[in-house]
Amino acid sequence: MQIWPHKHIHTLANFSIKDYESVFELANRFDALKNAGTKKIPALQGTLVTSLFFEASTRTKNSFELAAKRLSADVQTFAPSSSSLTKGETIIDTAITYSAMGADTLVIRHSSSYITFEIAKKLDAINSKTSVLNAGDGLHSHPSQGLLDIYTLIKFFSKKTLNPEVLNSKKILIIGDVNHSRVARSNLWALSAFGANIILCGPKTLIPDEFINFLKTPAPNQIEDPVKSRGSITISRSLEESIKIADAIIVLRLQKERMMENLLSSIDSYSLEYGLTPEQLSFNNKEIPILHPGPINRDIEISSKIVDEYPNCLINNQVANGIPIRMALLYLLQKYKHNPIAT
């Protein structure tokens, strides 16, 4: 395994193929331990993981905390409503405070895009050794979700040994509210890195034409793309035609809480045109995997019948896979402290 090159994890835009492979290799090993009956190992014993969630979360927050505990780390949680934020303290000062308490890693979720970059920059400026791990920032990025999604697909398509190359030339259909989805943005970086060709399908208000050029937008302070050749992005407005050629489908939630204006004529009309149903799936003659990052809006973006009865609906697999992926990320950040080669 390569020496881990990142002190902080903000985005998948700056992940190399070796970075992905390091995460997947470790996640696979951690997953194997669980399957062998070993749920807890002392890999991070004596370290402190602090969970700073400024937005509501079920899967990501609890998954990160469980991942840290399975590595024997101490876990410190944070409740915004009972913190000094109510007295006017800034998020950056809050992060500095937890760093001063000895946090080795801050796992941060916040509604502001790029906030983890700002926090990490401030911590580095005061020579803090604390790492920052982005658990979702505004519309920008959700690295661990992107990683667990692609890991779930690789496990599905690999016959025996985990092989990321199985995604090369696969057509991955992403349906729905891409514009407000940090998950979709992370998926675009991760899937394209392994040569998958991505089809974005939805109305123009939720998938503007500009997304065709998304992969040309680097991360802050990133000079060049670490992935030499990526898969493509195309945009379709026809769900039926997209499903016909798809090898896998990722359905996105309508993020009404992030919509600053009325972008849909009605929820019912959206569901009728872009909701995934068994009838829509019948346009594809393969038993393709269905993913959704959760939480799901049943019978709006995806039919309850698919969620509950379709054998290749992998939503619960995604949740389960999130634990070893997040274990891997926490472990790699701690390994960086022993071999710091980049920021």
pLDDT at 220: 80
Helix or strand or coil: residue 68? helix
> 81: exposed, middle or buried (C-beta count within 10 Å: 0-12, 13-18, 19+)?
exposed
Which helix (H) or strand (E) segment is 214 a member of?
Answer: none
> 8: exposed, middle or buried (C-beta count within 10 Å: 0-12, 13-18, 19+)?
buried
**What tens digit of pLDDT does each residue of 207-238 get?**
999 999 999 987 788 889 999 999 999 999 99
> 293: exposed, middle or buried (C-beta count within 10 Å: 0-12, 13-18, 19+)?
buried
Helix axes 143-157, 182-193, angle to 10 degrees: 50
pLDDT band at 341 (very low <50, low <70, confident <90, very high): low
* Mean pLDDT value of segment 19-48: 94
Predicted confidence (pLDDT) at residue 167 exceeds the cutoff of 70: yes
pLDDT at 260: 52
* Mean pLDDT value of segment 72-88: 92
Predicted confidence (pLDDT) at residue 343 exceeds the cutoff of 50: no
CA–CA distance, 238 with 246 (Å, rounded to integer): 12
Average predicted confidence (pLDDT) for the chain: 94
pTM value is 0.95
Cα dist from 337 to 88, 131, 331, 340, whole Å = 33, 9, 10, 6
- Among residues 324, 325, 323, 334, the alpha carbon closest in space to that of 63 is found at 323
Q: In this structure, how many other beta carbons lie within 10 angstroms of the beta carbon of residue 177?
A: 27
With a pLDDT cut of 70, the percent of the chain lying above it is: 96
Domains and CATH numbers, the chain: 17-141+319-338 (3.40.50.1370), 145-318 (3.40.50.1370)
pLDDT at 1: 65
pLDDT at 264: 80
Predicted confidence (pLDDT) at residue 342 exceeds the cutoff of 70: no
Please list the alpha-helical segments (H only) found in 101-228. Answer: 115-125, 143-157, 182-193
